[in-house]
Structure 1
Amino acid sequence: MSEDLESEKRVSTALPPVAPSVTAELVAALSPRLRKRLDAGVAKLADRPAVRDGDTVRIAVDDSTHVELHAPGGSVTSADAVRCGCLLAPDCLHRAAAASAAPIAEPAAEPATATRSEDAVAGEAPQPDPERPERATPEQCAAARALHTAAAAVLEAGTDGSGAVLQAELLRAAHTARLAGLPRAAATSVSVVTAVRAARSADPAYRLTDLVGTLRDALSAAHRIPHAEGPELTELRGTVRQPYRPDGSLRLYGLFSEPVLTASGYAGAVTWTADTEGRLYQVSDVAPGGAGRAVGAADRAVRVGDTALTHRELSRAGLAVSGATVSPTGRLGAGAGVRAVRASGADWRAEPLDRLWTVPAAEQVARALSGGADLLFLEVALVGTVREAAGDCLLADCARLTLRLTAAHDHPALPHRDNLRLLAAARGSRLRIVARLTPAPHPRAVLLACEHPTLPGTRVDTGLDRLLRADLPTAPASPAPRADVPTPEEAPVHLLSRRVRQAASGGRLALSFPGSTAADVRRLGRHGLATAGDLLDELHAAAAERSRDVFGRLLPADPDRFARAWLAAARYADQVDRALCAAAWGA
């Protein structure tokens, strides 16, 4: 990584999060001449030192000029909170550059308490009228069109071409969507900008598949909202915040903890627990910060009641909670009425946690693909490693299926990758693991926690605990039986999904060069994927099409056609991947 990128990341993590509307407002106020210089201004500002003084962060532009970001609540929520001392202020480049370099502020935190009061049911949709299904308002339709235009422009340019100006346009569209009552579309748009920034700064948290997924969801929502009605519109619209509902008393047993480190500048830890019935609950501590906070959050006190347990301790112990409040996703609230005390934990091979591993893998995968919890509780035998384009992954035998286990994060401060490499040397070891499903044409998951290879009853959180070579067995166990590893020939949908990823990264130009797709189309057709071949042809045709005016001059490309073709291909590839994933697991 270059020194410029490293300095940009250092400054970004030092700056407070800035609300999307603030960045959009500051960039929109720039003159056309200054807009052309905005990306250079962001890069220049990245080389300057940033100093925090209470709620204010000050960046030294030069010896006599400073930019100040005032964040009394932890984030910058108004354009007036970004001040500059140069002669051109407030219409200077420095304010917009500082906002564009800072992390994007998330919406207001979810409420920590929950009763059947007005706050508890905030965001709940009214009962639908079957005679007159609800449709999007004119304001929501206009916001969806603006979102589609901004997202299509980002797709047209790709990550390299999506500078601060295009990012600000998408943030403006996100703000408009939120004001129109489309919080889910707004949040997805912000996620697109976050992924683009991570790609441009070579952030280790960046995943091209994440960019493809968020861009697909943003364009899909913008496309469907004007035509949706009833329950579909309710789902597309989403809620401003998840309501926390009372759940009485809970007896929870710690499962594992995982670090959180996002490209948007947030970090922390999430501890997963289970009750006596096997239902999963989460205790999270995520706030603005970098890798240091992700590593240190495991030793911070859990934010539930008056407990003094840390996340690391809770993952091995238990919790008795009274007056519990729980969100629909299983996140525990931490309001004033919640009481929690430390309790005994349970081994993974003892009740009540043992039942999580007795559910067949196919049934767990089917649950995850249908929208349930995506955690998998598996018993595996370690086989070795296999090299992939993104690095080595761990092979394990799981009920006669060859499972590929990958690292959850590549940041060097987190031990995911190192632990995976060491576990590969423990070939033949039979362990229970916790992993997160990755939809793919072959069994694939992200390793989150596992049993210790030599210490029975000991667990390893692969993102927090660092294994040593001394932890490995002195002699390898008997080799695990090998199952056949599916080859790309068995799932040629990658011929389409590869073009989808190329377009998201390189923009329309990446697919506009002359070339024939006939061979790929024939190969897809031989495997019963004729629709994929048609989508591949249309994607390339939309990328390459350029008409001319009466004087023979090239006219601008049609971004709407390319966005529609890309969206159709992306959705098809995603659905086929999920179907192939279910088939590979026997779900």
Structure 2
Amino acid sequence: MTTAGLPPVLPDVTAEIVEALTPRLAKRLDAAVAKLAARPHTVDPASGVHRIAVDEESNVELRPTDGIVTTPDAIHCDCLLSPACVHRAAAATLAPVAVDAVQDMSAEPEPEQESEPRPESGPGAEQNSTEATTGPPAHPEPSPSEQPSTPAHDTTEHTVAAHALWTAAARLLDAGVDGAGAVAQAGLLRAAHIAKVAGLHRPAAAAIRVVNGVRAARGADPAHRTAELADALTELLGIAHALGTSGTDPAATAALRGTARRSYAQAGSLRLYGLFTEPVLTATGHAGCVTWTADADGTLYQVPDIAPGGANRARGVADRAVRLGDTALTHRELSAAGLVVSGATVAEDGRLGAGKAVQAVRAKGADWTEPPLDALWSVPLADQAARARRSPDGLLFLDATLGGVLRERDGESLVAHCQGVTVRLAVAHDDPGLAHRENLTLLASAPGTRVRLIARLVPSTPARVMPLAVRLPSGARHDLGLDRLTRADLPVPTASGGEASPGPLPGTPPPPVHPLRRRVEQSLVAGRRALTLARPDEAPALRRAGLPTAAVLLEALLRAAADRGRDPFGRLAPADLDAFARTWLACARYTQEVTEALGTEAWKA
């Protein structure tokens, strides 16, 4: 649970304030957070101080520096118990988690200078996340050749930090989302801070994504997805385990450590064609948009404008000029126009730098049906899906015929038929300030319509994507997160098609690995103890489906959840949280691999 508009708070600040509470106040913290979330919140425009009214006589203030709360003293309460009151801890818990010293994420410096921290997202992003986010995944897999941007650290320091991350994550997994209150979250934030100080930037960011996911789940955020939180926790536990067992070989831990800053390389001159603009709204309090472009070879480039803010900024920044050279193009205009860039600098993920030496002028754009952009839609779907799984952008270019609405376990989704593949279209972001859901609902009312889509791959089976932009039969292009479609934009229904969408189609059976994945997610939501009530017939069902490894893993997970030894006096000993976390990690990794393999097959016509 977070309150929109509050300034981000550094992880160690939240952890320090929460850890300073007495046991009695710590038990009251979650109730205090819920109470404070409902109280009036104001901002002093002159000083930038955020003020939440605790009651008629007391206020808690957050005093950010450059938009971020960097010290415990910057959170002040004027109640009689301050600074040992619960209100300061509640305010810190309500505020978004700051990933780093917040800078304008569109203002990348020159390549030789330090650039901005990677924003939290996912499709997300992200996702999303990671993460209840939109935008491309913010933390792509670093290559083993990447070197950390900080000096080398002692391996012992890495081991200590990895152990802190593992322990905090295992405790959170034991309690589950339902039991992971502010104190458990603060423990993971403390571990994230320890990891960052030790130079473990990738696992520190993963820990923050987990905290954001837990907060979104506990706050009933409509954009929360349990599967995405499970993937974030899987990444965190996997990295922490690998770092704790990788020995002293620096090369073995280079990819696991990650990098703190994005680096930019010289790219010379670029001729770019606008594709679409995607609104970005992250769980870390950042918002804005990313305009996607492509060159004549089909290489994708991003022009971002992301900074602290909410849904209003995500919608409004699309009408601001792009920060690239002296061009006066807005993001909306660039999405349909072209751009010539000289002295370009490009990050590994395709993000364009905006240093002083970069120059850009407007040029003619191209329709999606014209060269060179039309070549993006000519790549076979299986090849596109394989590229999207490896790429941080995850984009697919689809020629689709809209079908009916399909009833599934998690609700209803729109079906589209693409080159012999039946694809589910899912909502990219559920925030009501963005137009994704209502646009998808309107498209569902026009079955039989042929459209061109740009969508982001959802790693799942059957084939599933999140549509981001559409070209209708009229030739009009729309950004589905920003533009609100009307019935007048869609073709007139034919007599055979009828005016209304057909009723929901029969649902499809879940994938064979679903029983294991369900227990993985169930334990994450309700905690380890929830697995003690699992049905005993699921493992035999997995064996009958030809998945003996899944059956063995499920049996091991249930045993680890129920395993409680006894001390010499016959009393129940504490549960082995390390063993349960290791088994849970093995199950989660297995389901990811099986899902990816099945997803690969799903994109073959």
- Maintained 8 Å contact 1:429/1:476: no
Match of 1:71 among 57, 64, 72: 64
Distance 1:262 1:122 in 2: 14
Establish whether residue 444 from structure 1 lines up as the match of residue 444 from structure 2.
no
Counterpart AA for 2:264: Y
Structure 2 residue runs of 5 or longer lacking an equivalent are: 119-141, 498-504
Judged with a 3 Å threshold, the aligned counterparts in structure 2 of structure 1 residues 373 and 201 are, in CA distance, closer, same or farther, namely closer
Counterpart AA for 1:177: A
Distance 1:390 1:144 in 2: 35
Counterpart AA for 2:454: V
Distance 2:387 2:203 in 1: 25
- Per-residue deviation, 1:107: 1.6
Judged with a 3 Å threshold, the aligned counterparts in structure 2 of structure 1 residues 516 and 474 are, in CA distance, closer, same or farther, namely closer
Distance 1:485 1:126 in 2: 46
- Per-residue deviation, 1:288: 2.3
- Per-residue deviation, 1:381: 1.1
Establish whether residue 543 from structure 1 lines up as the match of residue 534 from structure 2.
no
Q: What is the 5 A alignment of 1:104-253?
A: 104-108=97-101, 109=103, 112-115=108-111, 117=112, 119=114, 137-228=155-246, 229-253=249-273
Match of 1:488 among 493, 500, 509: 509
Establish whether residue 302 from structure 1 lines up as the match of residue 322 from structure 2.
yes
Distance 1:232 1:445 in 2: 34
- Maintained 8 Å contact 2:342/2:359: yes
- Per-residue deviation, 1:120: 7.8
Residue 28 of structure 1 corresponds to 19
Does the residue aligned with 1:225 lie in a helix, a strand or coil? helix
Q: Percent identity?
A: 55
Match of 1:263 among 277, 280, 283: 283
Distance 1:544 1:64 in 2: 50
Residue 554 of structure 1 corresponds to 572
Establish whether residue 323 from structure 1 lines up as the match of residue 329 from structure 2.
no
Q: What TM-score do you get using the length of structure 1 for normalisation? A: 0.91
Distance 1:161 1:448 in 2: 35
- Maintained 8 Å contact 1:450/1:462: yes
Match of 1:50 among 41, 46, 53: 41
Does the residue aligned with 1:285 lie in a helix, a strand or coil? strand
- Per-residue deviation, 1:416: 1.1
- Per-residue deviation, 1:551: 4.0
Judged with a 3 Å threshold, the aligned counterparts in structure 2 of structure 1 residues 50 and 474 are, in CA distance, closer, same or farther, namely same
Residue 582 of structure 1 corresponds to 600
- Maintained 8 Å contact 1:156/1:508: yes
Most deviating of 546-555 and 185-194: 546-555
Q: Deviations over 1:122-145 (max 9, x none)?
A: 99999799xxxx997100100000
Distance 1:477 1:400 in 2: 25
Judged with a 3 Å threshold, the aligned counterparts in structure 2 of structure 1 residues 24 and 122 are, in CA distance, closer, same or farther, namely closer
Distance 2:385 2:144 in 1: 32
Q: What is the 5 A alignment of 1:284-295?
A: 284-295=304-315
Query: How many residues in Structure 1 have an aligned counterpart in Structure 2?
Result: 564
Judged with a 3 Å threshold, the aligned counterparts in structure 2 of structure 1 residues 222 and 433 are, in CA distance, closer, same or farther, namely same
- Maintained 8 Å contact 2:143/2:255: no
- Per-residue deviation, 1:290: 2.1
Residue 80 of structure 1 corresponds to 73
Does the residue aligned with 1:384 lie in a helix, a strand or coil? strand
Q: Deviations over 1:12-38 (max 9, x none)?
A: 112111011110111111122221111
Distance 2:215 2:252 in 1: 31
- Per-residue deviation, 1:473: 1.7
Q: Deviations over 1:224-249 (max 9, x none)?
A: 01223454411110000110112112
Q: What is the 5 A alignment of 1:453-472?
A: 453=473, 455-456=474-475, 458-472=476-490
Most deviating of 314-323 and 272-281: 314-323
Judged with a 3 Å threshold, the aligned counterparts in structure 2 of structure 1 residues 175 and 212 are, in CA distance, closer, same or farther, namely same
Judged with a 3 Å threshold, the aligned counterparts in structure 2 of structure 1 residues 448 and 478 are, in CA distance, closer, same or farther, namely farther
- Maintained 8 Å contact 2:274/2:293: yes
User: Alignment RMSD, CA only?
Assistant: 2.5
- Maintained 8 Å contact 1:427/1:476: no
Most deviating of 180-189 and 411-420: 411-420
Establish whether residue 275 from structure 1 lines up as the match of residue 271 from structure 2.
no
- Maintained 8 Å contact 2:408/2:508: no
Residue 547 of structure 2 corresponds to 529
Structure 1 residue runs of 5 or longer lacking an equivalent are: 1-7
Does the residue aligned with 2:4 lie in a helix, a strand or coil? helix
Q: Deviations over 1:73-105 (max 9, x none)?
A: 011111121122223222222211111111111
Q: What is the 5 A alignment of 1:469-480?
A: 469-476=487-494
- Maintained 8 Å contact 1:136/1:225: no
Counterpart AA for 2:110: A
